[in-house]
Structure 1
Amino acid sequence: MIRAILWLQVGLAVVLFGSDLLRVLPRLAMPSQAPELDTPLRPGDQTRRYRPAEIAPRTAPPGTTRPVPAPQDMPSRLLFEAALWEERETLTLTGTIAPGDAERLEEFLLARPAPPELVYLNSPGGSVGDALAIGRRLRGLEVETRMFGTDICLSACPYLLAAGVARSVEEGAMVGVHQHFFGENRALPAFLAVEDIQRGQGEVMGYLDEMDVDTRIMRPALLTPPDEIYLLTEAEMAAFRLAPYPVPEAE
């Protein structure tokens, strides 16, 4: 009886591992065939290849001014830089959102003489948990979030954009969403892994509701695999109440 139970457990493990392998192998053998990130968009043609390690800051046109100079390389974790811009305390968040960045930002803010009023974003995304924590901290400060035309805000970064009590995205900036991993352990049984994913999605939807973003934004996110990114059009950002926000009143 004990041997039978043991072999049953081994068999279940093999089945679960095999099903995971069969699901992952096609993605490994045939990576995304979507166009490169900088390929011009057209409505309905908005899915682009997402390789965050290869994303570099885009060059701004000559004469462009920013609160702080754009870095030559995208930082591997958020870079916090403070400046006075438009006579307002301004914070720029640049780079990948790495685990622990929420705590780092808190330390940075506590060391500043005054809280920021404006926050500029330029990030390929990263840790969802840290993005939600940072977003709630920024909302507590009632900041305005912005993007310049050469900035990107992909993957988990739109949750930072959503944190602003006012939000604006210049023409040319890229804002994109896709599926998230939520840090689940692949060695977990399938039902526990699914439970983690669903809990993570529930947390994200609750956060979007807090920020007054239409949760329908999750539809293109859930339909786009992690190695691709769905770039939102200006009309979609307005429809989802992401940017501009508050939505301008009709004249």
Structure 2
Amino acid sequence: MRLVKSLDFRRWVLMGAAALGIAVPGVVTTLGGPAHAGASLEERKLPMRFSWVACPQHCRGWISAVGIVTADSPRDFDEFAHGRQLGGATIVLDSSGGSVNDSIALGRRWRDLGLLTTVGTSMQTRTAQGDRSSVLPEAYCESMCVFLLLSGKTRYVPEAAHVRVHQIWMGDRADDARAASYTAQDLMIVERDVGRLAKYTFDMGGTGDLLSLSLNVPPWEDLHELSREELQLTNIVTTDALAAVLPQTGSPVAPVAELKGKPVPDRFVGSAGETEANPQPQKTTKTAEAMAPSGAVAATVPAK
């Protein structure tokens, strides 16, 4: 499954794919409206990129994860993690979502490593005192990103962050979902991936309320932004303390921009009889998200 992307971007991708004769089998998507502005929005349209943000003096650093989850993302993360001691590290998310099954696989990897999660935009600036790393709290975690957020052993969401959810859907019919036609095979794919997502959610410590809130938002409506109360209700947030995910070491000067907010709970996922990272491809479905410029084929994605 793929994470949410702007409608304009999805149309652009579909037009490009059509012109090249590209077809992506077995994909359900999650669609979403525009969320960011400027350079950050452009980065969020690209396949997910992982980078290590070092703190020269006052904190231990963190992993920045920006962009859309594609079929390549689990492998890309494994390559990034190779040779690094990432156990217990923090991942700072800024993402519109992406492939459902690949997000599930990635989230399980993160939980196995005991990673911590939060939402934010990582920044590095040069000052007279040297390089400085910070996290800006106004960032977006949408669609399947919310379930990646849920994979954190400890999860924090700043007040200024936007955590938004919606249904999964067939990606090639999300722009006009009500007018499209669907086969029994299409319904089977969606229900299969809803089941996987539900299992994952409970495995990660999320609640049924997260599934309920997500599955109540059809593709023709705007994404639902979780309130502070809903972040607690769904168990996405597990801490109100920024220091629980971005600890500082021995400095009165905070190396991280203030994230005044409370943690957010996690999400769901699962598989029945199939490997989550390698779901069996289906014939007749494709998704705009799956056709992001990564050259990969994905599975299901939230539908906005």
Task: State whether TM-score is above 0.5.
Answer: yes
Counterparts of 2:209 and 2:84, CA distance in 1 = 39
Matching residue of 1:159: 147
Match of 1:196 in 2: 189
For residue 139 of structure 1, what is the aligned residue in structure 2? 111
Shift in CA distance, 184/246, structure 1 to aligned 2, threshold 3 Å:
farther
1:96 to 50, 68, 74: 68
Larger Rg over CA atoms: 1
The correspondence of residues 79-228 of structure 1 with structure 2, limited to 5 A, is 79-85=49-55, 87-110=59-82, 112-115=83-86, 117-148=89-120, 149-181=137-169, 190-227=183-220, 228=222
How far apart, in 2, do the equivalents of 1:184 and 1:158 lie?
A: 22
With CA pairs under 8 Å and 6+ residues apart, which has the higher RCO, 1 or 2? 2
Distance 2:37 2:70 in 1: 17
Distance 1:100 1:182 in 2: 20
Computed over aligned residues only, the root mean square deviation of the Cα atoms, in angstroms, reads 3.0
Find the aligned partners of 2:84 and 2:159 in 1 and give their Cα distance: 33
Paired residue for 2:46?
Answer: 76
Tell me the CA shift for residue 208 of structure 1: 0.5
Matched-pair identity in %: 24
Is 2:36 aligned against 1:56?
yes
Q: TM-score, normalised by structure 1?
A: 0.66
The aligned residue for residue 235 of structure 2 is: 241
What's the secondary structure of 2:69's corresponding residue? coil
How far off its partner does 1:213 sit? 0.4
Where is the helix percentage greater, Structure 1 or Structure 2?
1
Cα-to-partner distance string for 1:74-125 (whole Å, 9 max, x where unaligned): 3411011102346335111001112221111111111x43215111000011
Give 1:180 deviation, angstroms. 1.1
Q: Distance in 1 between matches of 2:75 and 2:181?
A: 28
Cα offset, 1:172, TM superposition: 1.2
Corresponding residue SS for 2:44? coil
Instruction: Indicate if the aligned counterparts of 2:142 and 2:165 stay in contact, CA closer than 8 A.
Output: yes
Tell me if the contact between 2:43 and 2:66 (Cα under 8 Å) persists in the aligned partners.
no
Q: Does 1:229 align with 2:229?
A: no
Q: Which moved more, 1:70-79 or 1:131-140?
A: 70-79
Q: CA deviation at 1:57?
A: 4.9
Q: CA deviation at 1:184?
A: 8.8
Structure 2: 5+ residue stretches without partners:
1-30, 121-136, 175-179, 242-261, 263-304
C-alpha separation between the residues in 1 aligned to 2:37 and 2:139? Answer: 7
Alpha carbons 2:46, 2:67 under 8 Å: kept: yes
Q: Which digits, 9 at most, give the CA deviation of each residue in 1:37-68, with x for residues without a partner?
A: xxxxxxxxxxxx933xx443579xxxxxxxxx
State the secondary structure of the residue aligned to 1:157.
helix
Q: How many residues align?
A: 187
Kindly state the Cα deviation for residue 132 of structure 1 after the two structures are TM-superposed. 0.6
